[in-house]
Amino acid sequence: MSKKLNIGLFGFGVVGQGLYDISLSRNLNLEFKKIAIKDPAKKRTLPDNLFTTDKWEILKDPEINTIIELINDADAAYEIVSYALQNGKNVVSANKKMIAEHLDELVAFQKEHGTSLLYEGAVCGSIPIIRNLEEYYDNELLYAVSGIFNGSSNFILSKVFNENQSYNDALKEAQDLGFAETDPTLDVGGYDAKYKVAIAAAHAYGLFIDPAKIMNIGIQNLQLSDLQYAREKGQKIKLVPVAKKQNDSEVSIYVLPKLVKKEDFLFNVENEYNGVSVQAAFADQQFFFGKGAGGHPTGAAVFSDVSALRYDYRYEYKKTLIEKKVQFNNEEILQVYLRFNEEGFVNKLPFIDIIESFSSKDYHYVIGDIKLADIAAAKDLILNDGAFIADTGNYKA
């Protein structure tokens, strides 16, 4: 029999309202006791006495046994979530930055205090990838988890590639629709995807990795010449985070644009949709597809976690329990496309091999092999030149 959840909700934005709408359509044993907000003057459809600006009114209420955290501030979210877990309250969160940066601490709090933190909505919106990594693939050998984890950047790339919009016009449309923030760096710079793939790696490989160690280069330097190159090859450009086993003991994790071939599942993932590819030893390749943004899609993932808490569900982090642990390693050799503006710029990067090169008065590009660690070391050089780098998908051993 399910237990009653008395809920304290932090944040009543797009996802919070979507979650509340979904909860009204379901006859479950739960009640929203209080909702914490920042702006008490903002007009809302619910009674005023349901809202508060005092977080402690929720956190110290002994009747509230469940916290749902849906705010943007990662530091404030950590304070809320860590306090709740250490004081007997279960938590559902969708704050990928906070979770990725503090996951090892949050897992320790759960073990020590017998509480549960669930966060399906933090990774790829409505796609149930965390629960599947945790449950379905718990005894599976996973070779790679990758995909399109950020709906904002994918929306921009879809508009640019399919409708010939300029990058700036596509970005503005994404902002107008609420898919991208006023400062879009988190999305187009690959930071959002980095936090998400760090969380996925914990469940896929039992590896808790500081996201600061994960190399991320986004799509902010995309130019028409890059689109022309992809079109000539019959490919599309997508921003793809990757967590991939190099051998029995090492995993590489990174975020880069990728030249996606037609036979790749990701080729047809457009607009704000996400797609996650799992390559496994026994199940082979499987693909998850769904909306990665929006109030109701993300709210549905949050609601699934809330429902699971009625039966005291918690992640077991099963891959962390295996005897042979894996380590993070960024020594993988990638084949990349590098378009650059400054003549001779390519000589600043330690390419192992140059397979193809092109030069004109307007721009230059090379296709070559280079270590992931060397790309990471040259990240600022690449971005400052206005260069664009993409994984060709032709992997090296």
Neighbours of 128 (CB within 10 A): 20
d(CA 204, CA 211): 16
Neighbours of 141 (CB within 10 A): 12
Note whether 257 and 238 are within 8 A (CB): yes
d(CA 40, CA 295): 21
Name the catalytic one among 96, 196, 319, 371. Answer: 196
Structure tokens given for 181: 């923030």
206: closest CA among 147, 139, 148, 149? 139
List 357's β-bridge partners, or say none. Answer: 366
Which H or E run includes 118? strand 117-118
**Residue linked to tokens 């549905």:** 300
327: closest CA among 255, 394, 396, 243? 243
**Residue linked to tokens 């017998």:** 114
196 is catalytic: yes
d(CA 341, CA 362): 7
d(CA 363, CA 85): 53
Active-site amino acid positions: 196
